[in-house]
Structure 1
């Protein structure tokens, strides 16, 4: 494989991005497909925001570039990246700059109803951020629905097993099966 590939798993808070990302990794490990995993939420977790970078996008990109350089140096060419808005068109440039021109991008938008996302967030958010997460989840679900580019695979997560969702996501990548190309 000449160029690296990235699977972007996006979706509102409470949709299951991290859980699905880890299950996708498990399926790829079982199929002996070399890959790396990054939870994008951690790439920009700094406070306060750096001067001139209020949305922390520059620090996120800088961290992604550094981490990917380490993975790439060791021969990895496939990345699973989970983050709420990662599937939006404006993220393309960040991945091209961090992973190199010609990076193959597969976008998967996980979806869930407001009720499902709320139920999951109520079980997960035990601290002071619950109300903020609930409101942000609804707002970002609408944004993602409106702005995810054509070609983005949309995978519904309501009332489904994580393993079934992950199989659908892996199928969208083309990284396994008889038509898969390359190793690491």
Structure 2
């Protein structure tokens, strides 16, 4: 395979993006499919925001490009990337700039009810950020529902095991049967 492929796993806070990504990685490892995993939330975690980059999108892209260049140099062609808004149409340009023009993008939007996401966040957010995270999660869920492209695979996570969800996400990629 000469071109790169990226699986974008998006969704509101508390939907299980990271957990599903690691289970997808376990499935790919089990099938001996070379890949890399990147938690997109960490690509722009700097404070304060760089001058001229208030939403940290430029530092995120620069970090992704540098990281991907290292992986590509080692022969990797598949990336599993998690980030809330990564599935939105405007994100595609960042990935093609960072990973190359001949890029295949697979978008998966994980969904969960407000009750499910709030319960998960309550178990995870032990500090002062819970109320803010729950509010942001609800707002982002509405935005993602409205703006995620029709070609994205939508996967509900309520009441399902992570292995079941990951199998559905993996099926969307075709990576298990298309080895290289």
TM-score normalised over the length of structure 2: 0.99
- Structure 1 runs (4+) greater than 2 angstroms displaced: none
Pairwise CA RMSD of aligned residues?
0.5
Whole-angstrom CA distance in 2 between matches of 1:107 and 1:88? 9
Alignment match, 1:50: 50
Whole-angstrom CA distance in 1 between matches of 2:61 and 2:16? 23
Report 1:123-142 matches (<5 A): 123-142=123-142
- TM-aligned CA deviation for residue 2 of structure 1: 1.7
- TM-aligned CA deviation for residue 128 of structure 1: 1.0
Alignment match, 2:23: 23
Alignment match, 2:109: 109
Whole-angstrom CA distance in 2 between matches of 1:16 and 1:110? 8
Alignment match, 1:97: 97
Whole-angstrom CA distance in 2 between matches of 1:16 and 1:79? 18
1:148 equivalent in alignment to 2:137: no
The SS at the match of 2:107 is strand
Alignment match, 1:12: 12
Whole-angstrom CA distance in 1 between matches of 2:61 and 2:128? 28
Whole-angstrom CA distance in 1 between matches of 2:30 and 2:133? 34
- TM-aligned CA deviation for residue 141 of structure 1: 0.2
- TM-aligned CA deviation for residue 150 of structure 1: 1.5
Alignment match, 1:162: 162
Q: Which runs of 5+ in 1 are unaligned?
A: none
Instruction: Report how many residues are paired.
Output: 180
Whole-angstrom CA distance in 2 between matches of 1:130 and 1:49? 22
Q: Which runs of 5+ in 2 are unaligned?
A: none
Whole-angstrom CA distance in 1 between matches of 2:128 and 2:13? 15
Alignment match, 2:76: 76
Whole-angstrom CA distance in 2 between matches of 1:164 and 1:87? 21
